[in-house]
Amino acid sequence: MSDAANSRPTLAGVAARAGVSASTASLVFSGAGPVADATRARVLEAAAALGYAGPDPTARSLRRGRTGVVGVVTEDRLGDAFRDPINLALLDGLGEELADEGFGLLVLPWAPDSAVELAAVPMDAAILLGCSADLASSVERLRRRRIPLVAIEAPPLGDVVPIELDNADATRRGAELLRALGHEQIALVTLPLDVARTRAPLTPQREAASTAFTASERIRGARAVFPDAGGVSAGGSTVSEGYAAGRALLDVPATERPTAVIAQSDLLAIGVIRAAEELGIDVPEELSVLGFDGIRLQGLTAHDLTTLVQPAVEKGRAAGRAVREALAGDLPAPVALTSELRRGATVARSPIE
Amino acid sequence: MSDAANSRPTLAGVAARAGVSASTASLVFSGAGPVADATRARVLEAAAALGYAGPDPTARSLRRGRTGVVGVVTEDRLGDAFRDPINLALLDGLGEELADEGFGLLVLPWAPDSAVELAAVPMDAAILLGCSADLASSVERLRRRRIPLVAIEAPPLGDVVPIELDNADATRRGAELLRALGHEQIALVTLPLDVARTRAPLTPQREAASTAFTASERIRGARAVFPDAGGVSAGGSTVSEGYAAGRALLDVPATERPTAVIAQSDLLAIGVIRAAEELGIDVPEELSVLGFDGIRLQGLTAHDLTTLVQPAVEKGRAAGRAVREALAGDLPAPVALTSELRRGATVARSPIE
DNA sequence: CGATTCGATCGAATCGATTCGATCCGGCCG
DNA sequence: CGGCCGGATCGAATCGATTCGATCGAATCG
C-alpha cells in the first residue's frame, strides 16, 4: 500500500504517524527530556505499528559523535590473537571495563597489506595490543581523527596512553635468580621478533631489526645479566614453537648445552621442557627453565613452572579504564604494571660447578 | 588563528581550501568518478595541510548504509567465548571470509541483563554464535532493522540463515559405536544447559528446560541409542568441569559405574579421563570415553581421543560467506555440516559381559 | 489578577559525507 | 563552422537522527 510500508521506517515516519514532531519522538527513544505519558504512549504505539526498531545506530553515531565501539588492534591473525592465554586474560579485563559498560569490542587484525584501513573504521577509541612500529602511519591517521589511543606494551608513541609492563626488569630479576644458582650457559627462547615470525637463531642483526617491543625488552632484561646469551626466536608463543626451539638448543653435545633456558612465555617454556624430557634431559637437575606470564593452561598438568607472573587481567582493566577516561574527556595517566617472580620447580642449581 | 584549525577538519574544509566543490573532493577520496590529476593533487595537498585524515567513517556509514562491521554475538563472557578451542577455529574461518575482506568483527557478549542493546549497535550483519532462544526479542529487533542474521548451531529462527551441524546424528553414531562394543551403562557429560551453567545431574525437568540448542541436540542423539542414559551437565566446556563431572560419575561403587561416558566436548572428555586416571580406572579397558569436536589443544599430550570431529573452521567460513552473500543482496542457502567419527584409543569393549 | 515559571512540544540547524543529474567546455566529426 | 560527445566539475538533495533555542499553555506565586 503506502510506500512507507516497504522502506524501513524512520523516526520521522513514526513521529508523523503519532502526530508529533520528530524532536519529540526522539526524546521518547533517547529518554532525555520530559515527555508527557500520553505522548510517549502514542509514539511507542506508532513505532510498534510501523515496525520501527529504534533509532538508526549509524545516524545516531554521526549526530552524537559516538559509536559505542572500541577497536582492539592486533598484529596477529584473528584466531591466533586469542590462542595466547595471556590475551584471553587481558580480554577478561577489557570485558569488565568496557563490554560490561556497554561498549562493543571491534577486533581488528592488522597486517601491513591488510584490507582494513584503521582510520576508516567507525570507532570511538582504539587499543593497540602488542603492536609494532609498523603501525605508525595508521596510528598517525587515527590521531588526526582525534581518536584516543591506548597502547599495551608498545614502544612510546607520542600522544598514545601507554599501559606498560616491566618486561625488561622482570626478566632481569629472573636472570639474576639463575645467575645466583650458578648458571652461566644461558639460552634465550624469544617471542617472534617481527611480523614475519621467523624461527631462527638470534643474531645481533636480527635483534637490532626487531620490531617486537615486548620481545626486545625481555631480551634486554636478560642481557643485563647475561650479556652474551645466545638463543633462538620462536615463530609464535606456542608450545610447539617452544618445543622446536628446545630441540634446536638442546639436541647438541652435553658440553655445548645451556644449563638454563629463559623462555619469553610460559607456552614456550612448556615446549622447551617437553623437548628436554624427550631428549632425556632432566628438568631442573640438568636444565633450568624460566617462563614468563604465569598462565594457567586449559587442561595442562601443572608444570609448576618457575615464571614471571604478569597481571594480565589488570592490564586489560587498566586499558579499559584508560579508554573510558579518555572518552570522558580526561587525560588518562600512563600505567606501569609489574610482574612477580614465582619460584616453581623448574629451576635448580647449575649442574656445572 | 582560524577556527578551522582547532575543530576537526572536514571534507568541506578541504574542498574549500583546494578550491573545488565538496563533491569533487569526495570523488578524490572515494576513488569513484573521474578527477583530473591536477585537481586530485590539489585536494590531497589541501588535506595534508589541514591534517585531514580522510572521510569520517560515521558519516560515510550513514550515507552509504554500510558500516563494514559484522557483529558476533555470543552468550559467553568475552574471554570465555574464546577459551573454547572450537570457537578459535571458527574465528579462523570467519577471519578468512570476513576480516581478510575488510570487515571488522564486533564481539558482543550478550546476557539477558546486558548493557548492550544489540539493535543499537552499528553493524551490517550479525552472526549468532551458539545462542539460545533467550535472544529472541533482540533478534526480532535486529530483523526489523533489516540486518541479515546468520546463526551457528541455533534452533530454527525464522529469517535467520542457519549454519547447522549434525549434532544429534553425529552423537548417535558415536553412541552406536559404544553399543556395538557392548556398552549398556552409559553416562552423559553435557555442555551447560542454560545461561546459569549449573553443574548438576541430568533430570527430565532440567533437560526439558534447556535453552542450549547444541547440548540438547547432542543429548537427543545419545538418547536415540541409550534412551535411559543418565549423566550430569557441566558448567562449561572445560577440562576442569569435565574432571568435576567425571569425579561425580565415577567415584561410586564399581557396579554402579558407567562403562562408557559420552562427553559433549573434547575438553570435557579429557577432564573425565583425568578423573578416571585419578580414581585408578583404566581408560579404555574399564571405561570408554567419547568426545566431541576433534580439537587439538595447545600443549596437551595427544590423548588420541575417540571423538566426533566437527569442521569448525568450515563452520566459520560458511558463516562468513553467508554474511557476504546476504550483504550482496543474495539469499544465502542454509548450510548443514557433518561431523566424522574418529576412532581413537579411548573406547574399547565393555568390561561387563 | 497579572507576572513568572515550568513542563511539553516544536522548528530548524547540524553531524559529515555521498551521489545523482545538470552544467560547462574543449575537441572531434561531418 | 555548427553540432555533438564525453570528461571534469558542481549543486543540491539525502542518509536518519539529535539538540538547542523558541514557543505555548497551564499552573504557581505574590
Binned at pLDDT 50, 70 and 90, residue B131 comes out as confident
Residue B16 makes CB contacts below 8 A (sequence gap 6+) with none
| A91–B79 C-beta distance less than 8 A | yes
Q: Residue A145: list chain B partners with CB under 8 A.
A: 8, 53, 56
Q: What pLDDT score was predicted for residue A87?
A: 95
Mean pLDDT, residues B201-221 taken together: 96
pLDDT value at residue B188: 98
**Interface test mutation site (partner A, options B56, B62, B127, B272, max chain A beta carbons within 10 A):** B62
What percent helix, strand, coil does chain A show, rounded to 5?
Answer: 40, 15, 40
In this prediction, residue B4 carries a pLDDT of 42
**Are residues B179 and B306 located together in one domain of the fold?**
yes
What would you measure as the largest C-alpha separation in chain A, in angstroms?
Answer: 93
> Quick check: A78 and B238 CB within 8 A?
no
CATH number at residue A186: 3.40.50.2300
Question: Residue A296 has what pLDDT?
Answer: 82
Q: Which is it for strands B125-129 and B149-152: parallel, antiparallel or unpaired?
A: parallel
Distance from CA of A273 to the nearest CA of B (A): 11
Residues in chain B: 353
How far is the C-alpha of B90 from the C-alpha of B109, rounded, in Å? Answer: 16
Beta bridge partners of B308: B292, B341
Pair (B18, B115) in one structural domain? no
In angstroms, the CA B291 to CA B269 distance is 5
Residue B350 counted as domain residue: no
Nearest CB to A94 within list B78, B117, B145: B78
Of how many residues is chain A composed? 353
Pick from A51, A58, A142: which is nearest to B122 by CB?
A58
> How close, in Å, is residue A186 to chain B by CA atoms?
24
Residues B305 and B171 in one domain: yes
Residue B204 lies in a domain: yes
Note whether B196 and B204 are within 8 A (CB). Answer: no
On chain B, the residues whose CB falls within 8 A of the CB of A53 are: 119, 141-142, 144-145
pLDDT per residue over B87-97, tens digit each?
999 999 999 99
Judge if A200 and A277 occupy the same domain. Answer: yes
C-alpha cell at A273: 621442557
Q: What does the mean pLDDT of chain B come to?
A: 93
User: A274 pLDDT exceeds 80?
Assistant: yes
**How many domains does the structure of chain B reveal?**
3
**Residue carrying C-alpha cell 566431541:** B292
Residues A120 and A94 in one domain: yes
Look-up: residue for cell 556398552?
B183
Check whether residue A84 and residue A194 sit in a common domain.
no
State residue B113's pLDDT score. 81
- What is the model's pLDDT at position B180? 97
Residue B134 within any structural domain of the chain: yes
Q: For an interface test with A, which of B106, B121, B149, B314 has the most A Cβ atoms less than 10 Å from its Cβ?
A: B106
Residues β-bridged to residue B70: B105, B125
B313: distance to nearest CA of chain A, Å?
10
Q: What would the mean pLDDT of A15-22 be, rounded to a whole number? A: 94
If asked whether residues B253 and B286 sit together in one domain, one would say yes
Does residue B342 sit within a domain?
A: no
Give residue-wise pLDDT tens across range B29-66.
998 888 999 999 999 999 999 999 999 999 999 999 99
Which bases of chain C come closer than 7 Å to a protein CB? 7-12, 14-21
Whose cell is 577486533? That residue is A107
Give pLDDT, residue B73: 94
B8 CB within 8 Å of a chain A CB: yes
DSSP tag of B122: -
The yes-or-no verdict on residue A298 having pLDDT over 80 is no
Nucleotide nearest to A65 (CA to C1'): C15
What's the pLDDT at B2?
42
From A309, A324, A348, the end of a domain falls on A309
Alpha-carbon B15 to chain mean position = 45
Give per-residue pLDDT as tens, A220-270.
999 999 999 999 999 999 999 999 999 999 999 999 999 999 999 999 999
Res B301: pLDDT: 64
A135 pLDDT band (50/70/90 cuts)? confident
Domain identity same for B225 and B299: yes
- The pLDDT of residue A36 is above 60: yes
Which residues of chain A have a CB within 8 Å of the CB of B299? 238-239, 267, 270-271, 274, 297, 300
Among B268, B298, B314, B317, the residue to mutate for chain A (most A Cβ within 10 A): B298
Percent of chain B with pLDDT over 70: 97
CA dist B46 and A190 (Å) reads 45
Q: Which grid coordinates are listed for B37? A: 590529476
Which helix H or strand E contains B137, and what residues bound it? helix B136-144
pLDDT band at A1 (very low <50, low <70, confident <90, very high): very low
For residues B177-182, average pLDDT: 98
Measured CA distances, B255 to A153, A292, B277, B346, B352 (Å): 57, 47, 18, 21, 10
State the residue range of the domain holding A258. 167-309
Spatial CA neighbour of A155 closest among A193, A211, A206: A211
- Protein B121 CA to nucleic acid C16 C1', in Å? 20
> A282 and A242 share a domain?
yes
Whether the per-residue pLDDT at B287 is higher than 70: the answer is: yes
Q: Are B212 and B286 in contact (CB under 8 A)?
A: no
Q: Which of residues 278-317 of B touch A (CB under 8 A)?
A: 297-300
pLDDT at B79: 86
Helix, strand, coil percentages (3-state) for chain B, rounded to 5, are 40, 15, 40
CB-nearest to A79 from B83, B91, B117 is B91
Quick check: is A174 in a domain? yes
Q: Looking at residue B261, what is its pLDDT?
A: 98
Cell of A147: 581518536
pLDDT at B137: 85
H helices then E strands: how many in chain A? 13, 13
Closest Cα in chain B to A300: B300
Residue B77 scores a pLDDT above 60:
yes
Q: In the predicted model, what is the mean pLDDT of residues A49-72?
A: 96
- Per-residue pLDDT averaged across A29-41, rounded? 90
Residue A153's identity, in one-letter code, is E
Confidence at residue B184, expressed as pLDDT on a 0 to 100 scale: 96
- The alpha carbon of residue A180 is apart from the nearest alpha carbon of chain B, in Å, by 30
Q: How far apart are the first and last CA of chain A?
A: 93
Stretch (H or E) spanning B59: helix B57-64
- Are A153 and A203 contained in the same domain? no
Same domain, A159 and A246: no
Report A:141-170 residues touching B (Cβ under 8 A). 141-142, 144-146
Residues of B in contact with A102 (CB under 8 A): 115-116
Task: Return d(Cα B55, Cα B9) in angstroms, integer.
Answer: 10
**Residues A106 and A199 both lie in one domain:** no
pLDDT at residue B1 in the model: 38
Residue B285 in domain: yes
CB within 8 Å of chain A, chain B residues 191-250: 238-240
Separation of A339 CA and D16 C1' (Å): 50
Query: Which segment of A18-22, A125-129, A134-138, A344-348 scores lowest on mean pLDDT?
Result: A134-138
- Flag if B8 and A146 touch (Cβ within 8 Å): yes
Say how many CA atoms lie within 13 Å of A117 toward its Cβ.
11
